[in-house]
Amino acid sequence: MGADFATVTPSYSDLRIDPDRLIRRINELGEIGKIEGTIGCARLALTDDDKAGRDLVMTWMQDLDLDISIDGVGNVIATMPHTADVAPVMTGSHIDTVATGGRYDGNLGVLAGLEVIETVITSGVTLERPLAVGWFTDEEGARFAPDMLGSLVYVGGMPIEDALEIEDADGVNVGDELTRIGYRGPVPCPGPAPHAFVELHIEQGPVLEDEDVTIGVVEGVQGISWTELTLQGQSCHAGTTPLRMRHDPGVVASRVCCFIRDLALEMGPSQVATVGVMNFEPNLINVVPDVVTMTIDLRNTDESLLQDAEERVRSYIDEIATSEGVEVESRTLARFEPVSFDPRVIDMVEAAAHKQHLSSRRLPSGAGHDAQMLARVCPTAMVFVPSVNGISHNVTEFTEAVDIEAGANVLLQTLLSLTETEF
Ligand code: HGY
Ligand code: MN
Ligand code: MN
């Protein structure tokens, strides 16, 4: 049985957000951790800059007298006060960034959610269910893997005890950092399932811009496989050591890097592969490296193809490491299967775009998002807006104000429809 959409035009169908207020907040938050000379910012999870960003958004939530909860892994959920004791319709995203991040990735979804709530409160519209907006801790996974850590714990996908022990490259753990920045909250995890969840996010790729489409109606998220390799060779003199004597992890790492690109090309457009980290020790010009650590990021919309890719990479690494006499230690940092969003909510996003005469197209998400975790516990979907030049995780990341306004209004209308929809 499909959702019983509100059939009578609701009193809020003409409601629209205040784009200037939203853009102003995006830019104000973007100044925190700003990378000089760019519009990018660096607010790695649980750093002082992340704390400063959290504190700023908290003040905006407090200014609206929202009920604010901070849970044990630092997720912050702000809910409109409401007379009925019913699950809210929730939106949100993340405000941590990668080290060379943009000011829209994640931040747009949180601030647009806040803007939607402020618009509804100001309008005086009464709702059958409250709206809530949240940010989830460490969505990027760039400092503490896996990515989407906070939302994974929120939905019960990882015990909080395990999450709190995860360490960064310097051996600092999540729990201590949450305590240090004052965001190790009292609210238990997993958190309560919302009635429904919709996340607004920049596309971070070229599809919408290439097709001159304003709204992405996101059908799901591709599978993600993150692996860390530690390649142990033997350091020796770059000049005196004949090749036949060498066990060079740098050669193995470089070959793996080229292999995964060739594999992705061979497997076709649904497969992507990236080596984002490659550290040589001792990293000196005249020393054959002793140890190389590297990461492999494989993604595919098809789970069985992703498994094929993982298997082929694994056997290639074994083959060339053995021939080079290099030992391999492999650690899985993240592994999430592809996620399909709820068709009923996807339809509502599309309907909201069309009611506002906005062009739209359906597509999968190439990036991971907190919505893929919330989809485990409630009807969920996402709204995309275009990324200029299809670029993200780059300080030049940009989305036009007109598209931000359109995306936030589609989010507004979708969330309000969901307050009147029983599943
Ligand atoms: O890696 C991702 O897809 C996301 O940015 N965490
Ligand atoms: Mn993001
Ligand atoms: Mn990101």
pLDDT one digit per residue (tens) for the chain, 423 residues: 344 444 455 679 999 999 999 999 999 999 999 999 999 999 999 999 999 999 999 999 999 999 999 999 999 999 999 888 999 999 999 999 999 999 999 999 999 999 999 999 999 999 999 999 999 999 999 999 999 999 999 999 999 999 999 999 999 999 999 999 999 999 999 999 999 999 999 999 999 999 999 999 999 999 999 999 999 999 999 999 999 999 999 999 999 999 999 999 999 999 999 999 999 999 999 999 999 999 999 999 999 999 999 999 999 999 999 999 999 999 999 999 999 999 999 999 999 999 999 999 999 999 999 999 999 999 999 999 999 999 999 999 999 999 999 999 999 999 999 999 999
Q: Which amino acid is at 383?
A: V
Positions of CATH 3.40.630.10 in the chain: 19-221+341-419
Ligand 1 within 6 A of CB of 146:
no
The CA-based angle 57-201-225, given to 5 degrees, is 110
pLDDT at 1: 39
Burial 10-29 (b: 16+ CB within 10 A, else e): bebeebebebeebbebbeeb
**What is the 13 CA–ligand 3 centroid distance (Å)?**
32
Query: Who surrounds ion ligand 2 at CB < 5 A?
Result: 105-106
The CATH number of domain 19-221+341-419, selected from 3.40.50.10470, 3.40.630.10, 3.40.50.410, 1.25.40.340: 3.40.630.10
- The Cα–Cα gap between 111 and 28 comes to 11
- The Cα–Cα gap between 191 and 169 comes to 29
Ligand 1 within 6 A of CB of 368:
yes
pLDDT at 307: 98
So what CATH class is 223-336? Answer: alpha beta
pLDDT at 9: 57
Q: Which amino acid is at 206?
A: P
State which of 44, 100, 138, 140 you would mutate to test the pocket of ligand 1, scoring each by most atoms of that ligand within 8 A of its C-beta: 140
**What is the 304 CA–ligand 2 centroid distance (Å)?**
25
**What is the 175 CA–ligand 2 centroid distance (Å)?**
22
- The gap between the terminal CA atoms of the chain, to the nearest Å, is 9
Positions of CATH 3.30.70.360 in the chain: 223-336
- The Cα–Cα gap between 215 and 233 comes to 50
Nearest atom (ligand 1) to Cα of 105? 5
For ligand 1, atom 4, name the residue with the nearest CA.
368
State which of 96, 104, 143, 147 you would mutate to test the pocket of ligand 1, scoring each by most atoms of that ligand within 8 A of its C-beta: 147
What's phi and psi for 113, nearest 5 deg?
A: -65, -40
* Residue 282 preceded by cis peptide, ω within 30: yes
Nearest atom (ligand 1) to Cα of 148? 6
Ligand 1 within 6 A of CB of 203:
no
Ligand 1 within 6 A of CB of 139:
yes
pTM over 0.85: yes
Q: What 3-state class would DSSP assign to 241?
A: coil
372-to-190, 384, 402 alpha-carbon distances in Å? 16, 14, 27
